[in-house]
Structure 1
Amino acid sequence: MKRAGLGLVGTALLAWACTGGPESLPPPTIVGVEPASLPVNAKDEDVTVRFDARYAVAVDYGAEKVDARMGSGRVWVDDQEAAVTRFDPTGVAIATVPRGLGAGAHAVRLRLDDGREAVAEGALTLSPPGKEDVDPPILADGGVLIATDGGPIEQCRDAGVCNEEDGGEPQDAGPGPEDPMREGDITAYVFDSIEGTRVSKVAFDITVRAQGPRAEHFQGSVELIASRGTVKPAKIGPCDAGVCDATIVMDAPAGNVHLNAVDSFGVGGESNTFRLEPK
């Protein structure tokens, strides 16, 4: 059975050799670019180019060995060459996006060592700073929105103790810890710094802190969104006095990543950028 298998490979190689060289092989095909969109001039952002390619093989019939002639490759975005940080000839190239490219759609070009090329027109979109390329995710936890202030109204002339006989101006005592959160109570979320390199599919701890006039009252949950790949759990909470501690697992190709936290009112915050490496 082993010799029969080698015979089939030898026939395929002979068919290639008769045509005169590697130019008889079909060109590679780019099947995807991840992520498909990034901010303009984002520092050290990587893209993953996934491709299909066929290669020539050499057969040693005496030793019964098959040697697939696979090399490396290069990547361009438009006419600017990208620095390749990882190249797997079976179908994955990771490259750092060149700085200085303008906003809009850009072509991604892959060239193998033997000169064969593939181009994906408009595969990478660069957006101006502050512009969202996609609609924000729909959050499952809508919370409770109170349009009016539920706190008590008291009449006081001064900062002293109020009583029914005091004829001063009405003053709003404000909501307490048990009152529902309202729009504007939380103004942002801040991540504790995520230091060092993290490993894909290996759990690590994060802390997210609510900011705003009622940050210490916040006991809800927030959605987590990864800049590349996935993060689990996708929602963390309940938080304790505005502090959300969680253990998460990320799954994404090697490169720089960051996390976003968003609550039910659309208020969000972004972590620092950190490196993610394969397990």
Structure 2
Amino acid sequence: MKRATFALVGWALLAWACSGSSSLPQPRILSVEPDTLLVNEKDESLTVRFEARYAVSVDYGEEKVNTRVTATGTVWVDEKEAAVTHFDPSGVVVVTVPRGLGAGAHAVKLRLDDGREAENEGTLTLKPPGKDKEADPEEEWDAGVLIAFDAGGDDAEVDAGSMEDAGTPGDAGADPDAPILAGDITGFTFDAIEGARTSRLSFTITVRAEGPRAAHFDGSVELTSSRGKVTPTKIGPCDNGVCAAIVTVDATEGPVQLSALDSYGVGGTSNSFMLNHYQ
């Protein structure tokens, strides 16, 4: 299916080349994933999907059309250039979010190597750490009121404040905002990577955390490949323990497995899938 799609793109490019136009249209940013991150989160990856047309070369003597695209480009967040870890001219670029950006909405700009640009205003939002964590003043005040008004006798104090009446800290479950500690995540599983994939062409993977606090995991995991190189080498942040990402594997033809590893050394491995040679 991917080869068929690329062929259609190639014919579209040829049609454009034969139209006689002296300029190519500007590229267009389709999406930015994820669209919300924490301020100055270290080495966070951003995937920008875009569409663009490119010039093609025609050898009239050989009667051949070269539709292979070797274009590159850069991505900017406001006025800061992001480090490109993967660029697929068919419409996917993966970058590392630059440090030093403040909280709020930021513009994302794509600049191709031929000078054409596309910019989406306010498409990436950065939030300060802990912004979504709010204390519950009612809960704290209620506990104090019960003790203050019931005080005056030992029985009243026991009725209002004993652990048996109030419940243990574990009754309500772990705090979702509490840091993930060793033992909270016991492993990672990959959704099945079905069918054969092609070297250096992107595809989507989904990695799921396992363990008592799997649903609270919002960190990142390191990716490695059993052969060759996988890009990007780090994916995240995960959402409720689920990490979805677009990756490429650059390796020779044959079976490949991907592995994920968190900061505590807990990991998991995908199923073995066949990697075809890039045509």
Q: Report the TM-score when normalising by structure 1.
A: 0.52
**In structure 1, C-alpha distance between the alignment counterparts of 2:93 and 2:52, rounded to whole Å:** 12
Matched, 1:33 2:32: yes
Amino acid at match of 1:208: G
1:176-187 matches, cutoff 5 A: 183-184=171-172, 186-187=174-175
Query: What is the identity percentage for the equivalent residue pairs of Structure 1 and Structure 2?
Result: 43
Q: Provide closer, same or farther for how the CA distance between residues 62 and 193 of structure 1 changes in structure 2, counting only shifts above 3 A.
A: farther
Amino acid at match of 1:86: H
* Contact 1:253/1:277 (<8 A) preserved: no
Q: Provide closer, same or farther for how the CA distance between residues 10 and 46 of structure 1 changes in structure 2, counting only shifts above 3 A.
A: closer
* Contact 2:218/2:240 (<8 A) preserved: no
Residue in 1 that maps onto 2:97: 97
1:161-240 matches, cutoff 5 A: 183-184=171-172, 186-187=174-175, 190=181, 192=183, 201=192, 207-209=210-212, 223=215
Matched, 1:13 2:12: no
**In structure 1, C-alpha distance between the alignment counterparts of 2:216 and 2:109, rounded to whole Å:** 33
Residue in 2 that maps onto 1:268: none
Structure number having the greater helix percentage:
2
Amino acid at match of 1:67: N
**In structure 1, C-alpha distance between the alignment counterparts of 2:269 and 2:43, rounded to whole Å:** 15
* Structure number, greater radius of gyration: 1
SS across alignment from 1:74: strand
- For residue 53 of structure 1, report the CA deviation from its aligned partner: 0.4
Residue in 2 that maps onto 1:126: 126
Residue in 2 that maps onto 1:256: 235
* Contact 2:44/2:237 (<8 A) preserved: no
Residue in 2 that maps onto 1:145: none
SS across alignment from 1:109: strand
Q: Report the TM-score when normalising by structure 2.
A: 0.52
Structure 2 unaligned segments of length 5 or more: list them.
1-9, 134-157, 194-205, 221-230, 242-261, 274-279
SS across alignment from 2:19: helix
SS across alignment from 2:122: strand
* Contact 1:193/1:272 (<8 A) preserved: no
1:62-83 Cα distance to aligned partner (Å, 9 max, x none): 4343213441000110001000
Q: Provide closer, same or farther for how the CA distance between residues 259 and 273 of structure 1 changes in structure 2, counting only shifts above 3 A.
A: farther
